[in-house]
Amino acid sequence: MAEPIERNLGLDLVRVTETAALGAARWLGRGDKEKVDQAAVDGMRLHLSTIEIDGVVVIGEGEKDEAPMLHNGERVGNGRGLVVDVAVDPIDGTSLTAAGLPGAITVIAIAEGRGSMYAPGPLVYMDKIAVGPEAAGRIDLEAPVAENLAQIAKANGKDVGDLRCLILDRPRNQGYIDAVRSVGARISIFRDGDVAAAISTAQEDHEADVMLGIGGSPEAVLAAAALKCVGGEIQCRLWPRDDGESALAADLGLDLHQVMTVDDLVSSDNVFFAATGVTGGEFLDPVAFTGEDRAETHSVIMRSKTGSVRYMFARHDLNRLRAISSLTLD
């Protein structure tokens, strides 16, 4: 019985991300991040409870508070089927959606086995480098940027000057920007959404060759789940923001020098990943409202056991969706 359930999990998960994206996209450009996030969470919660898994949220919306969010430690699924860890980002790019900018997606990943996903805990940032399958095995987070770019260029059959490097637009990443510029490689600086950025390096016929810089720890785990499915690579290391976080890491026994790999972040060999575009960008097309009570979505489903990557275009009748759920799509 287990194998047929596994084969269907990807389609179950994409229903979760589609519904989250449809809800969040209604708030495109309206300047309200809280409404964007809540609409996406409501959409995810609607379908997660019906999936035949015994899941625990490892990457979620933080510790439980007054809001009905998908919090760390929450049990999800119907309690039957595969025992899994669950990572969600209802909106990777909440600010992008609120501002009406490209790059936002809604994401979910599951990995078989309790404890199969790394739980970042209180340190919410990591230093990262991510590449697609061609350059997997060629990178080293501890090596100079110039050395990594030379190896990535060789793996991709390019000159260093032709590489396209994705770097999150934060002051803490200025050193990376300077290092990339010093060797003459090209840079695309993105405002938010480093899950999509990391995965875009592993797409077939990808235009981006590497993502590097300091970004979110939860996003590193989600990116690792996707990259494990397609043979890409991510390396990362916890990055404390100040002396207080360094002391906290020491108290918790966290090794700030450890370079973590895909297998450290997601240890299971049975991983499912799904994402749906919200505002469009490098990775997936946006939600499009095409007429009264009609919408279109663009999603991806990945599975590590088979290495399969399925892109899904879907048309939705929102009236029928409302009729079978309590979701608000207005």
Cα–Cα distance measured from residue 148 to residue 142, given in angstroms and rounded to the nearest whole number = 9
Longest dimension (CA), the chain: 57
Per-residue tokens: 103? 């790059």
Same fold? 2-115+270-323, 125-265:
no
Tokens standing for residue 87: 């990572």
Residue type, 168: L
**CA 145 to CA 271: how far, in whole Å?**
30
DSSP for 41-54? HHHHHHHHTTSSEE
As a whole number, mean pLDDT of residues 305-309 equals: 91
Q: By mean pLDDT, which of 185-189, 214-218, 238-242, 325-329 is the weakest?
A: 325-329
Q: What is the DSSP string of 265-281?
A: HB--S-EEEEEEESS--
Q: How far is CA 84 from CA 105, 177, 280, 306, 315, in A?
A: 22, 38, 29, 18, 30
In angstroms, the CA 123 to CA 237 distance is 11
**Span 253-259, mean pLDDT?**
95
* Cα separation, 194 vs 106, whole angstroms: 12
Q: Which two tokens stand for residue 317?
A: 């009748």
Taking Cα atoms as reference points, which of 104, 120, 112, 101 lies closest to residue 20? Answer: 104
- Domain at 2-115+270-323: CATH code: 3.30.540.10
Of 304 and 120, more confident: 304
- Tell me the fold of 125-265: D-Maltodextrin-Binding Protein; domain 2 (3.40.190)
Q: What is the pLDDT of residues 39-79, one digit of tens each?
A: 999 889 888 888 999 999 999 876 544 445 788 889 999 88
Residue 134 predicted with pLDDT over 70: yes
Torsion of CA 299, 305, 306, 307, to 10 degrees: 60
For 5-17, how does the pLDDT look when each residue is reduced to its tens digit (9 = 90+)?
Answer: 445 588 899 999 9
Q: Give the domain ranges of the chain.
A: 2-115+270-323, 125-265
**Predicted local confidence at residue 150, as pLDDT:** 98
